[in-house]
């Protein structure tokens, strides 16, 4: 069975960058535990100070590789997320919504 590919969409601009990076990583880990291949725009290969246009070009390419888009809370307050949503719908992605960012507990266990 082919692994489903999911793109994480959430507001980034006008937020604390470190907090956003941590939130996206937390969601990525949750999705990976559910068996998804995750495309995380916080790790798109561009430097933090690249322009919004540069990020969106790379992010849209990532999104077009996906079957699903996961919209994070407050996505509808972000012009970039709205554009990602529209592209996802236009290319036939399944759209899912994360309604709240409850604390996620992730345990890494090492067996020796």
Block residue for tokens 């390419």: 61
Check residue 13 and report its DSSP letter.
T
pLDDT (0 to 100) of residue 3: 79
Max Cα distance, the chain (Å): 48
For the domain covering 5-97, report its CATH number: 3.40.50.10400
The domain locations on the chain are 5-97
* Three-class DSSP category at 79: helix
Check residue 17 and report its DSSP letter.
H
Banded model confidence at residue 106, pLDDT cuts 50, 70, 90: very low
pLDDT (0 to 100) of residue 41: 96
Interval 11-60: pLDDT, tens: 988 888 889 999 999 999 999 988 999 999 999 999 989 999 999 999 99
Banded model confidence at residue 111, pLDDT cuts 50, 70, 90: very low
């Amino acid at each position: 069975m082919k692994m489903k590919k999911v793109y994480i969409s959430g507001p980034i601009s006008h937020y604390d960058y470190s907090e956003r990076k941590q939130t996206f990583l937390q969601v990525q880990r949750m999705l990976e535990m559910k068996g998804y291949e995750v495309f995380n725009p916080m790790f798109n290969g561009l430097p933090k100070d690249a322009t919004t246009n540069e990020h969106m070009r790379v992010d849209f390419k990532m999104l077009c590789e996906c079957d699903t888009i996961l919209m994070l809370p407050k996505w509808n307050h972000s012009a970039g997320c709205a554009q990602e949503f529209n592209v996802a719908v236009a290319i036939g992605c399944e759209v899912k919504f994360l309604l709240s960012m409850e604390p996620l507990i992730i345990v890494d266990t090492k067996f020796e």
